[in-house]
C-alpha cells in the first residue's frame, strides 16, 4: 500500500467513524455540548468526534509497524502515549475527571513517549537531564494548549492537517521522506474528521481528540528532532500560531489572578471569531501556517536561516496579532 492510498484509507475511516459517533451522540444527552456563557458556539452540537481521529490514526500507526515502515519502539511511543491521553480525555468528555488526575496521566504519557523514542532531543550540548526537565513539561503543555485552542469550528483539525503535511515537507527537506509516515497518518486522520468539523461544525472534537493530537504532534516533532536537531526548531515554528496564542493567554490570565483551570473564551482566536465568525478565523490560521510559518520552518530545516533568527522573525507578527486581539483579556 502506497502512502497516498494509506492516507485515503485513514481519512475515509476517520470520516465514517465521525459520522457514526455523531449519530450515537444525537441519541442521548451526555455528549451534547450546549451553549453557555463560556461557549463560542450558539447551538447544541454533539461532541466526542475526536475518538474517530484517535482510532483511525492508531490503525494507521499499527499498519506502519506491521509492514516495517516504523519500528515497534516508535509505534509504542506514539500509540501508547496518545492512547493514554485519549482515554483520560474520553472519560472527561463523558463526565468529569479531576484536573490533578488528568495532569498525572499527561505526564506519564509524555514520559512514556520520550522513553520509547530514545530520550529527550539534544539541546545545544546540555546534559540529558536538562532535556528531560525541558522536554517533559513541553510535551504536557503542548497537549494541553491544543485542548485550549480547540474552541471554534475547524481550528484544531485544520492545525493538525497543516502541521502533519508540513512535517512531511520538513523531512523531505532533510532527505528523509521515508520517516514522514506518522505525520502523514495524523494529517489524514484529522482531514477525515474535518469534513464534519469545518465551519459550521456538525460535531466537536472533545478532549479525547484534542489531547491526542497535541501529544502525538509533539511526539512526531521529537521523533524528527532526534533524526536532525534542526527539526526541533522547525517544529516550534510550525506550531507557532497555537503556541503564541495559548501561552500569551495563559500568562495574561495568571497576571490578572484568574483561575487558569476554569473555562473561558479569552484566547485571541476566540475574540477574533466573535468579531468575524469562525470560518474566516480558521482559514486565517490555516493561511498563517502554510504561507508564513511553513516557509520559515523549511528555511531552518534547509540550513538557510539560523533557528534563533527564524523563530524571532516568524513569531513577531504572531505576538503582535495575539496582542491586537486581546489574548487573555477579561471578558465583559
The grid coordinates of residue 85 equal 491521553
Reported as a pLDDT band with limits 50, 70 and 90, residue 233 is: very high
Q: Are 315 and 248 in contact (CB under 8 A)?
A: no
* Residues in CB range of 94: below 8 A, 6 or more apart: 30, 31, 48
Q: What is the pLDDT of residues 11-44, one digit of tens each?
A: 999 999 999 999 988 887 667 777 665 656 667 7
Over residues 53-65, the mean pLDDT reads 97
CA nearest to 321, candidates 204, 251, 241: 241
Q: What is the pLDDT of residues 113-155, one digit of tens each?
A: 999 998 887 776 666 778 888 899 999 999 999 999 999 999 9
- How many angstroms separate the CA atoms of 317 and 312, rounded? 9
Q: What is the pLDDT of residues 290-320, one digit of tens each?
A: 999 999 999 999 999 999 999 999 999 999 9
pLDDT of residue 214: 97
- How many angstroms separate the CA atoms of 210 and 248, rounded? 19
Domain ranges of the chain: 46-324
CB atoms within 10 A of CB 13: 19
Q: Name residue, grid cell 521529537.
A: 222
Reported as a pLDDT band with limits 50, 70 and 90, residue 272 is: very high
pLDDT of residue 125: 66
Amino acid at each position: 500500500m502506497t502512502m497516498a492510498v494509506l492516507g485515503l484509507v485513514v481519512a475515509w475511516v476517520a470520516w465514517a467513524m465521525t459520522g457514526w459517533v455523531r449519530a450515537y451522540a444525537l441519541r442521548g444527552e451526555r455528549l451534547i455540548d450546549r451553549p453557555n456563557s463560556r461557549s463560542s458556539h450558539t447551538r447544541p452540537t454533539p461532541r466526542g468526534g475526536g475518538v474517530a481521529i484517535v482510532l483511525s490514526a492508531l490503525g494507521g500507526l499499527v499498519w506502519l509497524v506491521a509492514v516495517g515502515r516504523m519500528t515497534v519502539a516508535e509505534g509504542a511511543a506514539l500509540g501508547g502515549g496518545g492512547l493514554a491521553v485519549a482515554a483520560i480525555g474520553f472519560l472527561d468528555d463523558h463526565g468529569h475527571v479531576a484536573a490533578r488526575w488528568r495532569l498525572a496521566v499527561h505526564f506519564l504519557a509524555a514520559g512514556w513517549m520520550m522513553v520509547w523514542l530514545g530520550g529527550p532531543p539534544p539541546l545545544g550540548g546540555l546534559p540529558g537531564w536538562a532535556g528531560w526537565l525541558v522536554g517533559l513539561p513541553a510535551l504536557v503543555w503542548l497537549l494541553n494548549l491544543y485542548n485550549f485552542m480547540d474552541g471554534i469550528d475547524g481550528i484544531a483539525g485544520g492545525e493538525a492537517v497543516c502541521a502533519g503535511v508540513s512535517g512531511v515537507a520538513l523531512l523531505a527537506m532533510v532527505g528523509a521522506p521515508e520517516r514522514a509516515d506518522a505525520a502523514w497518518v495524523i494529517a489524514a486522520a484529522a482531514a477525515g474528521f474535518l469534513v464534519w468539523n469545518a465551519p459550521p461544525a456538525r460535531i466537536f472534537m472533545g478532549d479525547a481528540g484534542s489531547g491526542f493530537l497535541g501529544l502525538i504532534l509533539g511526539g512526531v516533532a521529537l521523533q524528527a528532532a532526534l533524526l536532525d536537531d534542526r527539526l526541533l526548531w522547525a517544529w516550534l515554528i510550525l506550531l507557532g500560531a497555537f503556541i503564541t496564542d495559548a501561552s500569551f493567554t495563559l500568562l495574561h490570565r495568571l497576571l490578572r489572578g484568574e483561575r487558569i483551570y476554569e473555562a473561558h473564551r479569552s484566547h485571541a482566536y476566540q475574540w477574533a471569531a466573535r468579531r468575524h465568525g469562525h470560518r474566516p478565523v480558521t482559514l486565517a490560521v490555516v493561511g498563517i501556517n502554510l504561507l508564513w510559518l511553513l516557509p520559515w520552518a523549511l528555511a531552518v530545516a534547509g540550513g538557510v536561516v539560523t533557528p534563533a533568527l527564524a523563530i524571532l522573525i516568524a513569531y513577531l507578527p504572531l505576538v503582535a496579532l495575539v496582542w491586537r486581539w486581546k489574548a487573555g483579556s477579561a471578558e465583559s
